[in-house]
Amino acid sequence: MSAETIQSRRAWLLSDRPVSRLQARLGRAYVAWRRFSANRLALVGMLIIIALLVVAAFADVLAPYSPTVGDLKNARLLPPGAAHWFGTDDLGRDIYSRIVYGARWTLYVVILVAIIAAPIGLLVGTIAGYAGGWTDTILMRITDIFLAFPKLVLALAFVAALGPGIENAVLAIAITSWPPYARIARAETLTVRNSDYIKAVQLMGASPFRIVLRHIMPLCISSLIIRVTLDMAGIILTAAGLGFLGLGAQPPLPEWGAMIASGRRFILDQWWVAAAPGAAILIVSLGFNLLGDGLRDALDPRSGDQ
Amino acid sequence: MSVTENQAAAGGGSARAVAILSSLGRFLVIAVTTYLGLLAVTFFIGRVIPIDPVLAVLGDRAPTAVVERTRREMGLDLPWIEQFYLYVKAALSGDFGTSVLTTNPVMTDIRRVFPATIELATLGTIIGAVIGVPLGVLAAVKRGSLIDQVARIVGLIGYSVPIFWLGLLGLVLFYAKLQWIAFPARLDVVYEYTFTPITGFYLLDAAIQGQWDVFYDAWRHIVLPAALLGYLSLAYISRMTRSFMLNELAQEYIVAARAKGLSERRIIWGHALRNAAVPMVTVIALSYANLLEGSVLTETVFSWPGIGLYITNSLQNADMNAVLGGTIAIGSVFIAINLLSDLLYRLLDPRTRVG
């Protein structure tokens, strides 16, 4: 590909007068990507998350040992070495393999929480914003009440009642994390609610249900995605905290927080048992934070450089 | 009340009185509904989710007579709304039932353990504010410089690190290897019989009584968990300070101050920071509330006998009354700080005085 074709393609992408919807969309995406990729930290964050996805997808290939069955006879609490990169735990299991498989559980938690909490917030926020009046007041009061609660403690109490387990931990985190999404969705709804295109759709006889679903919700998605990405780190930390307290994933699942809890007993002599999974949590949360910051700066120029 | 009304009638500052009254009224509505919401959620957790709430409270080994009595005492034969009314009434009088584990009323336990948490969170917030505010100011003033980058990385790691893991590593380094700090507890066993706490804040009590050896020992126990919580609040406080300061430094009064020939130091610390102070009070209050909550994990790692450890110990023993009582206690303080900082913001911000 010669320099000229690249030049002309860029000109096509950045054109002021796009001739098709596709060209306009690609052009906008290109501008956002340029802003995003200019931010080196954001790229690092993206690489970390891509690495997480790859590790989770190919865990079977990447892990040399089983994550749940260890060699109790020969390999208990071995320090990091050539055979076991991050050492072994008290049941003779390879910690590196457990961390690789643990990536799946981390993704599982994060994705499930996002799938449950974001739509709840989106629904509550758009309905409150579009309906206005009493509906708005009541829905937002409920949102604010939930917003004022201490999240971790409440999630703790929920899991205590529901019983320990990774599904219940997901549910508890989702219940406590939807309110910010509702606020964002409501704010976005209020900005478009009185615009001409909504009036046009109303005149064409669209039902409120259809307007909210087809014409308002899509506009809230991008700010919601940014916020969800920024929240991912918090979700991972809460899930790990629940796992650490024995309320999240149950043994022998290789969940990172639970792995730290089991390494706690040996922390003074065999520190590596707890050190490696904690480092994994730190790196992945950092990745989500960097990616979220980058996305916010690229897609939402208003918030600018904070 | 009548004084305010007279003032309002006289017309002088009547707009202001009305504004304050209406914002107080709004505040009351918000406070009441939020607390009712908290109680509704804990009611839901304690009474609706468990298949048999009596079993959840007593465990499965209680004799039938006790189960029947408790069922009646808890009012489980009444309709939901009446149960909730009784629940709220009991909670308002500080009755959260009895802890199975300690056999004390939950409220007595909470009174005993809460000062330890307050002491830890207060020291953590002080550390966070004392380091975080100057760091944020410097990062804003020298934007893009090395110190800005460092502040950013420090903040990002603070947002991403699992605190309990950092605590464990800290124990390995500072307790096991370097022996700078004492083992996880609140005070050495040696002092158990020679030291009588007055307020429950050991550092303060030791200082009042002039027992400086106890003070030193308490300090060696609290310093690492407090520093960790301080790091969490530092991450938040420095980031917010930087953003407030950037906002202020872009204002025109800064240009005016420069034109007047004020020294850079007075412009930054005297003018810009002073104007950023109001939102920063809110931020520090919020970070204090977050530390109260964050103490649950930290206390577990450091065997710190506060409300967090109380909750997690009760969790492990399926002691639901204690868990929910602790949740309400932390939740109440958390909500109170949230609401008060919001109110403080309205009262302190000069711009809200005009309307």
User: Three-state SS across chain A?
Assistant: CCHHHHHHHHHHHCCCCCCCHHHHHHHHHHHHHHHHHCCHHHHHHHHHHHHHHHHHHCHHHHCCCCCCCCCCCCCCCCCCCCCCCCCECCCCCEHHHHHHHHHHHHHHHHHHHHHHHHHHHHHHHHHHHHHCHHHHHHHHHHHHHHHCCCHHHHHHHHHHHHCCCHHHHHHHHHHHHCHHHHHHHHHHHHHHHCCHHHHHHHHCCCCHHHHHHHHHHHHHHHHHHHHHHHHHHHHHHHHHHHHHCCCCCCCCCCCHHHHHHHHHHHCCCCCHHHHHHHHHHHHHHHHHHHHHHHHHHHHCHHHCCC
Q: Is the pLDDT of residue B9 over 70?
A: no
Q: Which of B42, B243, B301 sits opposite A157 (nearest CB)?
A: B42
Q: In this complex, is the C-beta atom of A150 within 8 Å of any C-beta atom belonging to chain B?
A: yes
Cβ distance B296 to A152 less than 8 Å, yes or no, reads: yes
Digit-coded pLDDT (tens) for B279-338 = 888 899 989 998 988 888 999 999 899 999 999 988 888 788 899 999 999 999 988 988
Q: Is the pLDDT of residue B52 over 80?
A: no
State how far the Cα of B57 lies from the Cα of B319, in Å rounded to an integer.
6
Q: Cα separations (Å) of A33 from A6, A45, A51, A291, B162?
A: 16, 14, 20, 12, 31
Cβ distance A278 to B46 less than 8 Å, yes or no, reads: no
Cβ distance A150 to B300 less than 8 Å, yes or no, reads: no
User: Amino acid identity of A92?
Assistant: G
Q: Nearest-CA residue of chain B relative to A278? A: B165
Average pLDDT, chain B: 84
Q: Nearest-CA residue of chain B relative to A242? A: B297
> Among residues of chain B, what percentage have pLDDT more than 70?
93
B307 contacts in A (CB within 8 Å)?
A: none
Of B209 and A171, more confident? A171
Where chain A has pLDDT below 50, the residues are 304-306
Return the pLDDT at B123. Answer: 94
Measure A240 CA to nearest chain B CA, in Å.
8
Selected residue of A49, A147, A153, A297 to mutate for chain B interface (largest B Cβ count, 10 A): A153
Closest listed residue to residue B195, CA positions, set B209, B181, B183: B209
Return the pLDDT at A226. Answer: 86
Q: Cα separations (Å) of A16 from A12, A24, A34, B133?
A: 9, 9, 17, 45
Q: Is the pLDDT of residue B70 over 50?
A: yes
Selected residue of B48, B100, B165, B171 to mutate for chain A interface (largest A Cβ count, 10 A): B165
Cβ distance B37 to A247 less than 8 Å, yes or no, reads: no
Contact of B123 with B230, CB cutoff 8 Å: yes
Answer whether 0.90 is exceeded by the pTM.
no
What is the mean pLDDT of the segment spanning B226-231?
Answer: 94
Measure A68 CA to nearest chain B CA, in Å.
22
Closest listed residue to residue A291, CA positions, set A228, A229, A236: A229
Question: In degrees rounded to 5, what are phi and psi of residue B197?
Answer: -65, 145
Q: What is the CA radius of gyration of chain A?
A: 23
Q: Which of A142, A149, A275 sits opposite B38 (nearest CB)?
A: A149
Return the pLDDT at B51. Answer: 66
B301 contacts in A (CB within 8 Å)?
A: 264
Q: Is A87 left (phi over 0), alpha (psi -120 to 50) or beta?
A: left
Q: Is the pLDDT of residue B10 over 50?
A: no
State how far the Cα of B355 lies from the Cα of B333, in Å rounded to an integer.
31
Tell me, what's the ipTM? 0.85
How many beta-carbon contacts under 8 Å exist across A and B?
138
B181 contacts in A (CB within 8 Å)?
A: none
Domain A23-299, what fold? MetI-like fold (1.10.3720)
What is the mean pLDDT of the segment spanning B270-275?
Answer: 85
Return the pLDDT at B54. Answer: 76
State how far the Cα of A275 lies from the Cα of A77, in Å rounded to an integer.
13
Q: Cα separations (Å) of A192 from A126, A195, A216?
A: 11, 5, 7
Selected residue of A145, A266, A272 to mutate for chain B interface (largest B Cβ count, 10 A): A145
Return the pLDDT at B162. Answer: 93
And the tokens for A50? 């891509």
Q: Is A219 exposed, middle or buried (0-12, 13-18, 19+ CB in 10 A)?
A: middle
What is the mean pLDDT of the segment spanning B206-230?
Answer: 87
A145 contacts in B (CB within 8 Å)?
A: 33-34, 37-38
Return the pLDDT at B69. Answer: 80
What is the mean pLDDT of the segment spanning B129-147?
Answer: 91
What residues contact residue B162 under an 8 Å CB cut-off, 6+ apart? A237, A240, A241, A244, A257, A260, A278, A281, A282, A285
B300 contacts in A (CB within 8 Å)?
A: 244-245
State how far the Cα of B108 lies from the Cα of A25, in Å rounded to an integer.
63
Measure A161 CA to nearest chain B CA, in Å.
6
Q: Cα separations (Å) of B303 from A261, B164, B171, B222?
A: 14, 12, 12, 11
Tokens 């030049």 label which residue? A7
Of B33 and B58, more confident? B33
What is the mean pLDDT of the segment spanning B52-66?
Answer: 74
Q: Nearest-CA residue of chain A relative to B31? A: A145
Give Cα A257 to chain centroid, integer Å: 17
Tokens 């302190």 label which residue? B348
Q: Which of A161, A247, A286 sits opposite B160 (nearest CB)?
A: A286
A244 contacts in B (CB within 8 Å)?
A: 162, 164, 297, 300
Return the pLDDT at B355. Answer: 43
Return the pLDDT at A1. Answer: 55
Q: Is B233 exposed, middle or buried (0-12, 13-18, 19+ CB in 10 A)?
A: buried
Return the pLDDT at B200. Answer: 79
Contact of A84 with A78, CB cutoff 8 Å: yes
